[in-house]
Amino acid sequence: MAGFVEGVGVDLKRLHETWMELFFPRQRGADQSVLGKWKPETTSGKLAYTGWAAVGAVVVALVYPFALAGVVARYNAYRLDDLAGALGVVGTVLLVALLWGALSAAAWVRFTFTGFLAVVAAAGVATLSTALALGFARVGGRVTTVVLAYPLATTAVFLPPVVAAFYSPALGELVFTESESLAIWFLDNVFAVGGINEYLRTEYDLTGVAYVLLWLGVSVPVGWALGILVTLANLVRPTE
């Protein structure tokens, strides 16, 4: 228990120092440096420093639970990254193509020819999304990884099952029911401002391709959220 409390204390200190370093020099990890942590000398500087520290304490208290969630997300993301590193880009893309190819084979047996083509197209998009996600993660920095790689990866996961749900009654019952619940939540919470939800309810129906667009719209912010959580985890508990 003592080790856990000590670890939380280190996390909070590191996160608060990161906050302080947004406006003040030599804050993060500077206690043991030759120059030490920078401190203001003027009265106005001390007031600004203390005020910013107080605001930071509140921000850290709100953000820290998300940082812990990011540690869990990072663990799983890095495990997948290690697997991708072992297989290589080509090997990973081939593995994804094999997995979604199996879904396409099942679609050939169980669905109509139109359903089969739809699943094949979705599997192709998912495989391409995987390749692009790996490419952006390898050649880009943290911003590119969060903005592009994570959303592409989540798209690769969500798209084929949603398309397959159009032609599988059992899968459709699960996917479409959850889609409707998700759409209602978005309308009642995210789009409740300015009557946007009423406009969407009046002008659009959640049918056909709208389900695909809904899940594509969900995959992007989910990818961003995962990327931000992992970034927070790197700030609180760096791996290097």
**How do residues 18-45 score in pLDDT, each as one tens digit?**
888 888 877 777 667 667 777 888 888 7
> 10 vs 156, which has greater pLDDT?
156
Task: Using alpha carbons, list the distances in angstroms from residue 98 to 105, 220, 239.
Answer: 10, 24, 32
Tens digits of per-residue pLDDT, 200-233?
Answer: 777 666 666 677 777 777 788 888 888 888 888 8
Q: Could you count the other beta carbons within 10 Å of the beta carbon of residue 110?
A: 13
Tens digits of per-residue pLDDT, 154-198?
Answer: 888 887 877 777 777 666 676 667 777 777 777 777 677 777 777
User: Which of 2-11, 62-71, 104-113 is modeled with the greatest confidence?
Assistant: 62-71
Mean pLDDT calculated for residue range 99-121? 81
In angstroms, the CA 60 to CA 19 distance is: 8
What percentage of the chain exceeds 70 in pLDDT?
85
Return the structure tokens found at 45: 């500087």
pLDDT of the residue at 190: 66
In angstroms, the CA 127 to CA 141 distance is: 22
In angstroms, the CA 132 to CA 140 distance is: 11
- Nearest of 10, 11, 151, 146 to residue 67 by alpha carbon: 11
- Are the CB atoms for 49 and 25 separated by under 8 Å? no
Q: Which amino acid is at 48?
A: A
Place of tokens 């401002």: 193
- For the entire predicted model, the pTM comes to 0.71
pLDDT of the residue at 207: 67
Residue 120 above 80 pLDDT?
yes
